Amino acid sequence: MDDAIAACRILVVDDTDFNRTLIGALLGEAGFQNVVYAKDGFDALAQIAAEAPDLLILDIMMPGMDGFEVCRRLRDDHAYADLPVLVQTALSSSDDRNRAFAAGTTDLISKPLDRTELVARVRIHLENRVLIRDLQTYRARVEGELAMARSMYDHLLPSAALCATQTDRAGVTLRSHTALSSDLGGDLWGVLPLAGGRFGLFLLDMAGRGVSAALNAFRMHTLIHELAPHLGERPAAFLTELNERAVCLLELGQHATVIYGVVDGAAERFTYAAAAAAPPVLVPPDGAALVFGEGSGQPVGIAAGTRYEERSLPFPPDSALVLHSTAVLEALGGRNGGLAALLRSPAVRNALATGDGGGAFTAVTAALAEAQGDVPLDDHTLVWIGREGAR
């Protein structure tokens, strides 16, 4: 017998001394090492409150408080909702058995007791109990790790002060929308200060979910900031070197989609390189057609020697530049049918026409929040860079 099952606490509740002794002897012979006893329902509830057992073997017909009432009281307390209750009874009618299950019984065993049946039923309920307990422990640990990872995400995202400083110098306004899935999808974005009133902006999405994806995103965040002082001015060289380091850092099968670009308000241009990322979108002024950039290129971390192409988009006054994760496209129903239609919508266009970049951003993020639901299936990141009033 597994040591964890043998050590489970079994509480035997019976008002007859002989029955308690018999059940204890049968269980002891079978290898169960932690059997305790209660002489009636009141005693049982007191012992359960002091130390909850892993299994309750309960007699139905007892004076004062019968087994039905013990079951009802236990099931009324959420703490004991999953406690298995094995009822021993001489009642044979279907009505009595239905009454026992209605009160909260997990299983029934008939009197007179059969040793083989008793041991088999006890063993299977304790196996389930140990499995559930292990799963609950694992879930609690994972939830704790995810909570810690979310807290780290919050600290790694650009601060309002950093965004304000960089965007004021560049003559733009930076807004962002981030929604994390319940198990983390590995999205991360950031701002890198550059000379001459410019700034770099990256958005990455790690493959996979959960704590491992989050940890890899944090590693990539560190690499990006190590490279920024040397290669931040050159997006293609930046991604090429990031890939070389990621290949050495990440395990086989792990990779990231990344877009990195330089926002230059004075030159009215966004220069960027992409590694299998969602393409950036320019929303021009005066209702002109949307301009989509390129997001092709091999993901970072797959193969050494990969080279990335440098591209650019115009960034004139009164326009907006939109960077986003692929989950945004999926939530909105694809590039042309969803995101493009939203960016062409009157709510967005009218807001931009009046210089209300905040209103345009709010219209987009409200539609995205509605599409992704209360609990997103994946991380969603959208970064909006506006040049309203920049003439």
β strands within the chain, DSSP E: 9-13, 34-38, 55-59, 85-89, 107-110, 173-179, 187-193, 199-206, 256-264, 269-275, 281-283, 291-292, 311-314, 320-324, 380-386
pLDDT band for 216, please (50, 70, 90 cuts). confident
Contact 273, 260 (CB under 8 A): yes
Six-digit token string for 306: 């990969």
Six-digit token string for 91: 């009642």
Contact 313, 280 (CB under 8 A): yes
Q: Give the CA count within 13 Å in the CB-facing half-sphere of 379.
A: 26
Six-digit token string for 226: 């190590």
Look at residue 337 and tell me whether its pLDDT is greater than 70. Answer: no
Q: 384: closest CA among 334, 322, 313?
A: 322
CA distance 200 to 194: 7
Among 183-192, 194-203, 279-288, the minimum mean pLDDT is found in 183-192
| Helix, strand, or coil (residue 281) | strand
Look at residue 166 and tell me whether its pLDDT is greater than 90. Answer: no
Average pLDDT over residues 188-207: 91
Note the pLDDT of residue 336.
55
Per-residue pLDDT tens over the stretch 362-373 = 999 888 888 877
Query: Could you tell me the end-to-end alpha-carbon distance of the chain, in angstroms, rounded to an integer?
Result: 79
Contact 177, 381 (CB under 8 A): yes
**DSSP string computed for 169-225:** HHT-EEEEEEE--TT---EEEEEEE-STT-EEEEEEEESS-HHHHHHHHHHHHHHHH
Per-residue pLDDT tens over the stretch 349-388 = 888 888 888 899 999 988 888 887 776 677 889 999 998 7
Look at residue 4 and tell me whether its pLDDT is greater than 80. Answer: yes
Note the pLDDT of residue 227.
93
CA distance 343 to 360: 9
Average pLDDT over residues 217-246: 93
Note the pLDDT of residue 334.
60
Note the pLDDT of residue 252.
82
Note the pLDDT of residue 185.
64
Task: Match 């890939």 to its residue by tokens.
Answer: 243
Contact 293, 311 (CB under 8 A): yes
Burial category of 185 from C-beta neighbours within 10 Å (exposed 0-12, middle 13-18, buried 19 and up): buried
pLDDT band for 184, please (50, 70, 90 cuts). low
The CATH T-level fold of domain 1-145 is Rossmann fold (3.40.50)
Show the CA angle centred on residue 46, arms to residues 40 and 51, nearest 5°. Answer: 120
Contact 126, 95 (CB under 8 A): no
Note the pLDDT of residue 88.
85
User: CB neighbours (10 Å) of residue 146?
Assistant: 18
Long-range contacts of 191-195 (CB under 8 A, 24+ apart): 191/158, 191/162, 191/163, 191/166, 192/224, 192/225, 192/228, 192/232, 193/162, 193/165, 193/166, 194/232, 194/233, 194/262
Look at residue 131 and tell me whether its pLDDT is greater than 70. Answer: yes
Residues in the chain: 391
pLDDT band for 299, please (50, 70, 90 cuts). very high
User: CB neighbours (10 Å) of residue 2?
Assistant: 12
Note the pLDDT of residue 92.
66
CA distance 256 to 275: 8
Average pLDDT over residues 218-247: 93
Output the CATH code of domain 157-387.
3.60.40.10
pLDDT band for 183, please (50, 70, 90 cuts). low
Burial category of 264 from C-beta neighbours within 10 Å (exposed 0-12, middle 13-18, buried 19 and up): buried
Task: Match 């929604």 to its residue by tokens.
Answer: 179
Contact 221, 188 (CB under 8 A): yes
Domain boundaries along the sequence of the chain: 1-145, 157-387
More confident residue, 354 or 306: 306
